């Protein structure tokens, strides 16, 4: 029996125009690392989380490593 937890296609279709426009802006600007779109994401995500700052990372592992460093636990990667 297959139990579908989330329908990513249905989720995408609800905000397709917004996602496609954001991808188009990144591709057209060629700012694949850093740039205005990333800064905007970090600011909006921080606001969403109720935090002063937001920092995007290249992976979940990097994000967890930064959390451990911030807590004084140390670098595990």
Q: What is the mean pLDDT of residues 58-70?
A: 91
- What is residue 1's predicted lDDT score, i.e. its pLDDT? 85
CB 76 within 8 Å of CB 65: yes
Report d(CA 76, CA 65) in Å as an integer: 6
77 in any annotated domain:
no
**What is the SS3 assignment for 4?**
coil
Residue 68 falls within a domain, yes or no?
no
Alpha carbon dihedral 43, 66, 5, 48, in 10-degree steps, equals: -20
Least confident of 4-18, 47-61, 63-77: 63-77
pTM: 0.69
Nearest to 54 by CA among 46, 62, 44: 46
Domain range spanning residue 47?
8-52
Tell me the pLDDT tens digit for each residue of 19-59.
Answer: 999 999 999 999 888 899 999 999 999 999 999 999 999 99
What domain count does the chain have?
A: 1
- Residue 42 located in a structural domain: yes
In a domain, 40, yes or no: yes
């Amino acid at each position: 029996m297959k139990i579908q937890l989330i329908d990513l296609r249905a989720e995408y279709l609800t905000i397709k125009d917004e996602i496609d426009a954001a991808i188009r802006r990144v591709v057209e600007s060629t700012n694949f690392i850093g740039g205005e779109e990333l800064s905007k994401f970090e600011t909006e995500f921080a606001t969403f989380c109720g935090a002063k700052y937001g920092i995007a990372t290249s992976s979940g592992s990097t994000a967890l490593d930064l959390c451990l460093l911030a807590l004084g636990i140390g670098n595990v990667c």
